[in-house]
Amino acid sequence: MNIDEIITKNKLLEEELHQTKEELSQTKEHLKKYTSPIQNKIYYEKNKDKHKQMVKEYKEKTNYFTNLSSEKKKEYALENP
């Protein structure tokens, strides 16, 4: 390989590196929408009543109910803080 080939190969690799870095930064920005805990917290605070209603409707639709004693509830609460 002569020097000209090495220089052109180096330039191509630098361009590819630059494109990859740009793509990575765009992907990170895009994912921030979906993984940002602050955004999720704000969304659920605004839509808390809506979610509660949806859960209530689902429980009624599936006839979901619990028959747990208060001791069991305390035990589960201690296991999963």
pLDDT in tens, 9-50: 999 999 999 999 999 999 999 888 777 777 778 888 899 999
pLDDT of residue 81: 58
Identify whether residues 3 and 23 lie together within a single domain.
Answer: yes
Identify whether residues 60 and 80 lie together within a single domain.
Answer: yes
Domain that holds residue 62: 37-81
**Dist CA 50 CA 58 (whole Å):** 12
Identify whether residues 29 and 54 lie together within a single domain.
Answer: no
pLDDT of residue 8: 94
pLDDT of residue 15: 96
pLDDT of residue 35: 78
pLDDT of residue 23: 97
Identify whether residues 31 and 67 lie together within a single domain.
Answer: no
| Number of domains, the chain | 2
Q: What angle do CA 49, 74, 44 make, to 5 degrees?
A: 20
CB-CB contact of 79 with 73 (8 Å): no
